[in-house]
Structure 1
Amino acid sequence: MIHPIANAPCSWGVDDPKNPNLPAWATVLKEAAQAGYRSIELGPWGYLPTDPASLRATLEQHQLSLVAGTIFDDLVSEAHFPTLVALTHQICRNLSQVAAAEPIPGRPFQPPYLVIIDFGNPERARFAGRGALAPRLNDKDWQRMMEHIIALSTLAWQEYGVRAVIHPHAGGST
């Protein structure tokens, strides 16, 4: 059985597109292609070109496709939810207009994917990897986070044909 792998800009330390010390996106794409990867994630929104035509040309230049885009953000806050909806539209619009990773035989849902990760707050992150000590969300916040994940997943699938997947990030909400 073949298990294709892809990479993501986070492997180059890319976590916040506003960080002035990040490697140039062209370097990341060049090195990913040189390492033999055929697909890559978008990384944080704004790191790679956000215009679909520019992104498509850039990826083609390096013979890369997109496997996923990622939302790594606060999934609990009601006040922040409209920002997540707008971000989902931006990411999925690009994912649906750029070449996706090759289909994976036998899988019911094919790339591209929208990876949804709750941004671990500092209190929970202190206990990452020590589940018995980690604080939990209260029932109300947990339910709100689930509603947000379902809404973003539904939006991605129904409007763009992009399958959402959940990343169980260390220091996140669980």
Structure 2
Amino acid sequence: MAADGQLTRIRIGSAPDSWGVWFADDPGQVPWQVFLDEVAAAGYEWIELGPHGYLPSDPHRLRAELAGRGLRVSAGTVFTALHRDDPGTWEAAWAHVAEVAGHAQAVGAGHLVMIPAFWRDDRTGEVLEDSTLSPAQWRILADRTERLSRRVREEYGLRVVLHPHADTHVDSEENVVRLLDSTDPDLVSLCLDTGHYAYCGGDSVQLIETYGERIGYLHLKQVDPAVLAEVHERRLPFGPAVGMGVMCEPPRGVPALEPVLQAAQSLGVDLFAIVEQDMYPCPPEQPLPIAQRTRKFLRSCGA
């Protein structure tokens, strides 16, 4: 941290998640114009694109909309199922990744956040496959994650950051470390989401201190411990857990974000730290006041 207490290496932003946006097209979500207006009004300068197709798909139009509000893009997001060895899986995954990466590059992003496939439906709880990967599936996941990261970097100039996520196979400390230890540090970095990692029992500060060279991006999020305990007791999927308020407004939950940000600052590299408070669904008037308070809180932390 700088002598004046400022986190000079941390670039704060927010994302459509914090406005209750999970899908490209959902009449219950706020219109994209409202999201852009309000994220700028809350004091953020950086955003993620959110679900592909939510923001305008024409990069010229989107760049103009962003510039008019003083906003820039840090990353796009993709969901992948790279551990599956079914015919056509890689080709389908790459077609989707290439579409999102091309759009992200065209609007000035430098990162692509990659989220592994869910092993159970995040809304209904339907079990889609085994929650544990076999050794062969781990090898496939590691190999294809490296392959995808290399190709995205070579063809689009973006850095892929893998996002450990609840109800996926890359969730807990054990599974995150297994993936890191199985992949090339030059190719595979993490988007450490503090909320998801706490949701799955991990310690974000410890991960940063132990695997600092693998931390390429941050999502700032907190969980409500009381709600999380009920979620685990009832074995609820992620979607209903969000509906119960498991992801809460900072600084009301865990982990404490100040030590996370300080640990990230100590790495001595520039990092995006994007606020993502999952709130799906939520009333349209709810996100802006929370976003304003959260930005004020993060300023008090030096960010």
Superposed pair shares fold, TM > 0.5: yes
Equivalenced residues, count: 156
Identity %: 35
Moved over 6 A (4+): 123-126
- CA separation in 2, counterparts of 1:35 and 1:153? 33
Of 72, 87, 92, 1:83 maps to 92
- CA separation in 2, counterparts of 1:98 and 1:63? 14
With over 3 angstroms needed to count, the CA separation of the structure-2 counterparts of 1:29 and 1:145, relative to structure 1, is same
- CA separation in 1, counterparts of 2:113 and 2:71? 19
Of 133, 153, 156, 1:157 maps to 153
- CA separation in 2, counterparts of 1:93 and 1:124? 27
Structure 1: tracts of 5 or more residues without a match: 101-111, 127-133
- CA separation in 1, counterparts of 2:72 and 2:122? 34
Alignment of 1:1-174 (within 5 A): 1-2=7-8, 3-77=10-84, 78=86, 79-100=88-109, 112-122=110-120, 135-174=131-170
- CA separation in 2, counterparts of 1:31 and 1:121? 34
TM-score (normalizing by structure 2):
0.47
Structure 2: tracts of 5 or more residues without a match: 1-6, 171-303
Deviations 1:56-100 (A, max 9, x none): 112112211100011124333344332321222222222222234
With over 3 angstroms needed to count, the CA separation of the structure-2 counterparts of 1:124 and 1:50, relative to structure 1, is closer
Deviates more, 1:160-169 or 1:71-80: 71-80
Larger radius of gyration: 2
- CA separation in 2, counterparts of 1:117 and 1:22? 22
SS for the counterpart of 1:83 is helix
Task: Give yes or no for contact 2:131–2:168 (8 Å, CA) kept in 1.
Answer: no
Task: Give yes or no for contact 2:40–2:71 (8 Å, CA) kept in 1.
Answer: yes
How far apart are 1:166 and its partner, in Å?
1.1
**Structure with higher RCO (Cα < 8 A, 6+ apart):** 2
Across the aligned residues of Structure 1 and Structure 2, the Cα RMSD in angstroms comes to 2.2
- CA separation in 2, counterparts of 1:84 and 1:12? 27
Task: Give yes or no for contact 2:119–2:131 (8 Å, CA) kept in 1.
Answer: no
